[in-house]
A and B are shown apart, each in its own frame.
Chain A
């Protein structure tokens, strides 16, 4: 299991290789990238920040849950912090399992759960303002 919070550009291949396993026939990778608009509003950039010690701990916990549920072999999660431009990679999740179905399911679980429990915050900056995503109902 490999987890990282980084302010440097994420090399997707590096994350993928961390999850590669000879015991496995499936390796799923999710790459989250910065979209150029939200609800029709043009996004200029994103700013991510993390409570790093807790974020790494929560990544470990959700990876353990995935292992329990889908018998995953290797899991790697890298999340970017700092200022990101349009199209840049914000998060990469790679997970290997003996068969492909489990790798898709585990990968989806990991990104969905990461978005719910891992203490990382995203600010969307528009041409005429900015918001902390999901802060208000």
Chain B
């Protein structure tokens, strides 16, 4: 799921990727930053899995809900 500037960078509200088995949050992040260099210019970029901020070594599962979280700015 894509929100805010992440949606603008990718150009859509969702992104479908073919991932290898045992892909981690870190490897997904590396792939995204390589494919979309604009992500490296952001103040931060987090990945959330099933509505929680995920650590880099977390292995992604097939039915996980994955969201890119660019710098938040509520309030």
Interface residues in chain A, defined as those with a beta carbon under 8 Å from any beta carbon in chain B: 32, 48-51, 53-55, 57, 79, 90-91, 111, 114-123, 132-137
Q: Does B69 contact A (CB under 8 A)?
A: yes
| Contact yes or no, A32 B75, CB < 8 A | yes
- Measured CA separation A129–B53 after assembly (Å): 31
Q: Which of B28-36, B40-48, B55-63 contacts A (4 or more CB under 8 A)?
A: B40-48
29 A-B residue pairs with CB within 8 Å: A48-B74, A49-B3, A50-B3, A50-B74, A51-B1, A54-B52, A90-B75, A111-B75, A114-B74, A115-B72, A115-B75, A117-B72, A118-B74, A119-B3, A121-B4, A121-B5, A121-B72, A121-B74, A122-B75, A132-B5, A132-B70, A132-B71, A132-B73, A134-B43, A134-B73, A135-B4, A135-B71, A135-B73, A137-B43
Q: Besides the contacts A54-B48, A135-B4, what 15 more A-B pairs have beta carbons closer than 8 Å? A: A32-B75, A51-B1, A54-B51, A79-B74, A115-B74, A116-B72, A118-B72, A121-B70, A121-B72, A121-B74, A122-B73, A132-B70, A135-B70, A136-B41, A136-B43
- Measured CA separation A24–B72 after assembly (Å): 33
Chain A proximity of B15: nearest CB distance (Å): 15
- Measured CA separation A60–B75 after assembly (Å): 16
| Contact yes or no, A49 B75, CB < 8 A | no
- Measured CA separation A122–B74 after assembly (Å): 6
- Measured CA separation A55–B52 after assembly (Å): 10
State the total of A-B contacts with C-beta under 8 angstroms. Answer: 81
- CB contacts (< 8 Å) of A32 on chain B: these are 75
- Measured CA separation A120–B41 after assembly (Å): 20
Chain B proximity of A33: nearest CB distance (Å): 11
| B69, B71, B73, most chain A CB atoms within 10 A | B73
- CB contacts (< 8 Å) of A114 on chain B: these are 74-75
